[in-house]
Chain A
């Protein structure tokens, strides 16, 4: 398998705080990679740098051998990286369909004539996209597909997460970042959601996923490889068993016996 995303010497400073400290890591095509570490260890900062929200203080990010360090979030999205957010960032007053379509930005036709005056061709495009969104929702939860025209604010937490996952997957990204999917959900809901996401990823063996998660059970069940961060540095990497066996990890992440 080839390397999809890699970063070298990645450093991100906020004033006196160093959130990422010369981080080197690589994500391989087809990976389901778990990113773990205590609060403030730089996991979400890594997502924000890799998706172009922050520009790193130094270091490089390569995606498919192309330097994306200085690219905007929009350009990075167009290259095929999508993400979800730790705190669900959906537009609560927009419908399920609208929220999913925001994620489909790169496939929509924004021509003024097409949108405003050739309404017949616009509606044909709309119907196609509606069908696409509906079948994605149906695959996750048939009941949710029926609520496609309802505002997201009326949904419960797991359905909101599902909508977020659909928003991220609708544009068929090559790489998906999931930022703490378990936040605000029960163990059981998290397990269901992750099974649904993995079903998606198994349909395409090149599909690559990076997952931030605090619940080690989720990491154990879903990932094939883990990277442990601490104070913005990579503490260790390997499969779940070898990582959790590491005494440094036990100390930094699982805590020491008193």
Chain B
């Protein structure tokens, strides 16, 4: 067998995970701290060059081997990296808001991944379900419901509306099912805009998250250090993301995930082996919309003000392009791609105006040359007892 010299470069085991996470953290701090366009560009290019070198050499193999054989260390390292970023930027409203946005978007796209990546149920209205979560949280907390039940209700209502939409989706297939969800996404925005009760086109204010008497919309001081109120929201977003990630991963590594794959692969063959096609489509659609709705509800509270323009059809396409970019079915890919899609236009303002053009070009490029996405899904590993 050929010897791979680069395979020795990475320290194996948990230490390797710590090392990689530290490098990632350092790069993220530099990138997020940078404010001038030139350094931002330099960091972006150097980062992409590093990734390119890893992808073209054998480095990526040893990285992914280290990660997959030390999964629980890697999970902890990534959680700690995010936690460290939140604490390092404790008084920087803008960066904290960006981090929070990444985490809620990633949660919503994890939901879309269950639908499209696992089960193959196309959903062009992911942002609408995200919006249903947002509006439910806004309306129910305005009606006097406490924050936590309002948050949960956001997820539940999104899941229930999804079940209603699923009736026509199940009766159609392929392009027609896609059209049903597109129509829903377009109708959803119009519905909000013409209903004064929902605040019309101007939108409505959302009451802040309040847990155990702790108001999430107030800055606070601890040990003489100023903490932005976004720190609290970011911690809530991180908790939601970690729970959603664990849930979605366990789903994949179970017979439930296997049946969802069977539905995506070949409905007829699956049916001949007892796979109940409708049951798994309903399960996947409901679980996905539940996650989108929860993410949307938390996002609305963090944003404090929402309008129909936040949940338009292009946003659904954005969610889909994140999934395509990251790699259908790969949950780490979802997180990586969300970071790209959310952070780059925010930091690199020059492209802000052209971002949809760039996303479109990127998606076309991916479909043509790398249809499996940045991080292609791996063969199922039912895993250790994690």
Q: Which residues of A contact B (CB under 8 A)?
A: 51-53, 72-74, 77-78, 82-83, 85, 89-91, 93-95, 98, 101-103, 105-106, 108-110, 112, 115-116, 119-120, 122-123, 126, 149-151, 167, 171
Sort A-B residue pairs by CB-CB distance and give the 5 closest, nearest first: A91-B265, A115-B254, A105-B274, A89-B269, A73-B271
Q: Which residues of B contact A (CB under 8 A)?
A: 247, 250-251, 254-256, 258-259, 261-262, 265-266, 268-276, 377, 379-382, 384-386
What residue of chain A has the Cβ atom nearest to residue B381's Cβ?
A149
> A129 to chain B: closest CB distance in Å?
9
Using A82-B273, A85-B269, A102-B262 as known contacts, say yes or no to A109 and B255 having CB atoms under 8 A apart: yes
The smallest C-beta distance from A52 to any residue of chain B, in angstroms, reads 8
Q: Is the CB of A120 within 8 A of B256?
A: no
Minimum Cβ distance to chain B for residue A76 (Å): 8
Complex alpha-carbon distance, A115 and B274, angstroms: 18
Q: A115-B255, A116-B247 are in contact. Are A105 and B268 (CB under 8 A)?
A: no
CB of B16, distance to nearest CB on chain A (Å): 23
Contact of A123 among B256, B268, B385 (CB under 8 A): B385
A-B pairs with CB below 8 Å: how many?
A: 91
Known contacts A102-B262, A105-B274, A123-B384; can you find 9 more A-B pairs with CB under 8 A? A73-B271, A73-B272, A77-B272, A91-B265, A93-B265, A94-B380, A102-B273, A103-B273, A115-B251
Give the docked Cα–Cα distance between A51 and B272 (Å). Answer: 7
19 intermolecular pairs with C-beta atoms under 8 Å apart: A53-B268, A53-B272, A73-B268, A74-B275, A74-B276, A77-B272, A90-B269, A91-B262, A94-B258, A98-B261, A98-B380, A102-B258, A102-B259, A102-B270, A115-B250, A115-B255, A115-B256, A123-B385, A150-B379
B270 touches A112 (CB 8 A): no
In the complex, which residues of chain A have a beta carbon less than 8 angstroms from the beta carbon of B259? 102, 105, 110
Q: If A89-B266, A119-B386 touch, does A98 touch B273 (CB 8 Å cutoff)?
A: no
| Chain A, residue nearest B254 (CB) | A115
Q: Which of B247, B269, B385, B386 is most buried by chain A, counting CB atoms within 10 A of its CB? A: B269
Residue in B closest to A112 when the chains form the complex, CB atoms: B256
Known: A101-B255, A116-B251. A91 touches B266 (CB 8 A): yes
Contact (Cβ within 8 A) A116 B254: yes
Q: Which residue of B lies closest to A116 (CB)?
A: B250
Q: Which residues of A are found within 8 Å of B382, using beta-carbon distances?
A: 123, 126
Which residue of A74, A93, A95, A126 contacts B274 across the interface (Cβ within 8 Å)?
A: A74
A98 near B250 (CB under 8 angstroms)?
A: no
Q: Closest residue of chain B to A94, judged by CB?
A: B261
Query: Given A89-B266, A91-B266, A98 and B258 touching (CB < 8 A)?
Result: yes
CB distance from B197 to the nearest CB of A (A): 36
Residues of B contacting A53 in the complex (Cβ-Cβ under 8 angstroms): 268, 271-272
Please name all residues of chain A whose beta carbon is closer than 8 Å to the beta carbon of B380 when the two chains form the complex. 94-95, 98
A51 vs B258: C-alpha distance when bound (angstroms)? 22
B74 CB to nearest chain A CB (Å) = 18
Distance in angstroms from A112 CB to nearest chain B CB is 7
Q: Is the CB of B255 within 8 A of A89?
A: no
How long is the Cα–Cα vector from A235 to B245 in the complex, in angstroms? 60
Bound CA span A105–B260, Å? 12
- Determine if B256 and A110 form an interchain contact, defined as CB atoms under 8 angstroms apart: yes
A78 to B276, CA, bound (A): 12
Q: How far is the CA of A151 from the CA of B386 in the complex (A)?
A: 23
Chain A residues within an 8 Å CB radius of B385:
119-120, 123
Q: How far is the CA of A149 from the CA of B255 in the complex (A)?
A: 16
In the complex, which residues of chain A have a beta carbon less than 8 angstroms from the beta carbon of B275?
A: 74, 102, 105
Bound form: Cα–Cα A82–B274 in Å: 10
- The answer for the CA separation of A110 and B380 in the assembled complex, in Å, is 17
Residues of B within 8 A of A108 (CB): 255
Looking at the complex, which one of A72, A102, A109, A149 makes contact with B379 (CB distance below 8 Å)?
Answer: A149
Residues in A whose Cβ lies below 8 Å from that of B256: 110, 112, 115-116
